[in-house]
Amino acid sequence: MVRAMGIDPGTGSFDIVVVEKNNVVWERSVPTSVLIKNPGIILDYIREAGFVDIIIGPSGYGTPIVCNNDIVDPVVFASEVLLLTSIDDIERGVLNNELGMYVYKSLLDVVKQLWLSNYNVCYIPSVIQLPTIPLFRKINKIDMGTVDKLASTILAIYDQSVEYGIDYSETNFILVETGFGYNAVIGVSRGRIVDGYGGTLVSNGMLTIGSIDGEVVVLGREWSRVDLFNGGVLTICNTTSIEEALLIRSKNSLCNEGFKAMYDELIKNIMRVSVSIGKPREVLLSGRLIRYSELRDELIDLIGKYFSVRIVNSLKGAYRSKESGQGYAIIGEGLLKGYFGDLIDIVELKNARGTVLDYVYHPRLRKARDRLVNAIKSSLKKSVYERILS
């Protein structure tokens, strides 16, 4: 029996989940603020969990499957490949107390700790790297869904299959994944992910400004990674707390409009994805925001005007871990041909190739793509980067 662990890097917490077959047998949630002070604690939790055959590590913007033995420089791999960010930008963001950058620093440190260990750790692709999405939908996009959004979608495919007693190849839905920092809308048709709008392509989230008007970019002149963690609902409500935002929006009309803007754009992105998959069987909801009853009920009411809507069910035995953490563990179990082997095959995760910048044709991004390719070549063994870049 395969025993697989997934490590999901969240803005608020890292979830660590172990599955055997279709059951969660161990789980922990570690505040990101704790990991940034003591990244080595991740190894303590892994030891506490007991033996695992594979660990799916926190993967950020993703990579075609890469494992510890393939990596020669974990720092460059984590920062430049998984996070598309320089080490200097990460350190500067942490010094400026940027909430979103804590997860970047924690992910970087955790990847280093995992590389130094003797565990079988692998990293996986994001949505845009999947071959199941046609090229024309990828053009001039990067974020069609980060790895955590992909992981949540994997769980959702399994959930719909179980809910209706259908094969993976018969699943058809739109997933709305709502996180503390980012939201995403992912389309699944016949068990395959065929379209997606990640956190920087959909509406403003709790932290992020989301999809940005080109005129805003031009007028802003200089932008950096930390700017992606500002401009969302919490910025509009002038707070760093979801709970506080929910409390004050009844008295603060602008704050309330921020929530409305997020909902409005999510609905519109659901409609956009429905063009790619046809009428979905249902819209599925997952993520941290769904745990707030007020937000969950409002989303269900709004989406329910157009589609059947349902909350994604967790795996048996899961009580605290988010859907994305469970999805990470499912992927590990399936990669080793366990209970979820057929699910991983139909999603074609193993066939992912290329970089997340392969489909951007604006001349301003040429240097960025060259930098990413060089980072891949300098951080991975030659046989591995040749496979990825082929």
Which pLDDT score, from 0 to 100, does residue 93 have? Answer: 81
Chain mean pLDDT for the chain = 94
SS3 143: coil
Residue 180 one-letter amino acid: F
Which pLDDT score, from 0 to 100, does residue 61 have? Answer: 95
- Average pLDDT score over residue span 68-82: 97
- pLDDT of 270 above 80: yes
- pLDDT of 99 above 80: no
229-245: pLDDT as tens digits: 889 999 999 999 999 99
Superfamily designation of domain 3-380: ATPase, nucleotide binding domain (3.30.420.40)
Residue recorded with tokens 């590990």: 332
What is the H or E stretch that residue 77 is in?
none
Gap between the Cα atoms of 151 and 347, Å rounded: 11
Beta bridge partners of 183: 178
User: Which of 20-29, 98-107, 179-188, 329-338 has the weakest average pLDDT?
Assistant: 98-107
- pLDDT of 106 above 80: yes
Contact 64, 129 (CB under 8 A): yes
Chain centroid to CA 49: how far?
A: 23
For the chain, what are the domain ranges? 3-380
Distances in Å between the Cα of 145 and the Cα atoms of 50, 76, 188, 371, 373 are 31, 22, 13, 22, 21
- Average pLDDT score over residue span 261-287: 96
Which pLDDT score, from 0 to 100, does residue 203 have? Answer: 80
pTM above 0.75, yes or no: yes
303-326: pLDDT as tens digits: 999 999 999 999 999 999 999 999
Distances in Å between the Cα of 242 and the Cα atoms of 140, 236, 368 are 32, 12, 34
330-361: pLDDT as tens digits: 999 999 999 999 999 999 999 999 999 999 99
Kindly give the pairing relationship between strand 3-9 and strand 13-20: antiparallel
Residue recorded with tokens 């190894």: 43
* Residue 12 DSSP one-character state: S
Gap between the Cα atoms of 344 and 367, Å rounded: 34
Which pLDDT score, from 0 to 100, does residue 344 have? Answer: 98
